[in-house]
């Protein structure tokens, strides 16, 4: 998707989840064996990942942040930081 704000155009990939863990897979799979054919962070022209979790919380995550943290497989959408501070802290991207 392409969005425009204040005269700037940005590219956005949208994903949602209804899993208990609020997991978002960054890989696209298909075929009879479920082979991976695409990885979201491998698109240099993509600006944002917009996500909706199972309770309709919204997250807007810059793709560059995922790339810098070397996140290539999946993320879990959380509204609060993890207790041990580990993992990709999606709570900072929560849209209020």
Please provide the average confidence, as pLDDT, over all residues in the chain: 93
For residue 83 the two structure tokens come to 């207790």
DSSP assignments along 41-70, one per residue: GG-TT--EEEEE-TT--EEEEEHHHHHHTT
- Pairing relationship of beta strands 23-25 and 2-5 according to DSSP bridges: unpaired
pTM: 0.89
Given this model, what pLDDT does residue 5 score?
Answer: 83
Instruction: Quote the pLDDT of residue 36.
Output: 82
**What is the reported pLDDT for 35?**
86
Q: What is the pLDDT of residue 33?
A: 79
Spatial CA neighbour of 78 closest among 23, 16, 41, 15: 23
How many degrees, rounded to 5, is the angle at CA 68 between CA 5 and CA 36? 90
Copy the structure tokens of residue 70. 């070397």
For the chain, which residues score pLDDT lower than 70?
A: none
Task: Specify the pLDDT at position 18.
Answer: 94
pLDDT for residue 32: 78
């Amino acid at each position: 998707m392409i969005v425009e704000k204040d005269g700037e155009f940005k590219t956005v990939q949208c994903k949602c989840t209804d899993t208990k863990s609020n997991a978002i897979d960054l890989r696209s799979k298909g075929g009879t064996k479920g082979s991976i054919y695409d990885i979201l962070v491998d698109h240099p022209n993509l600006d944002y990942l917009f996500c909706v979790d199972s309770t309709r919380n919204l997250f807007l995550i810059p793709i560059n942040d995922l790339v810098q943290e070397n996140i290539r497989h999946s993320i879990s959408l959380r509204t609060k930081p993890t207790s041990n501070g580990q993992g990709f802290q999606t709570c900072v991207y929560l849209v209020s």
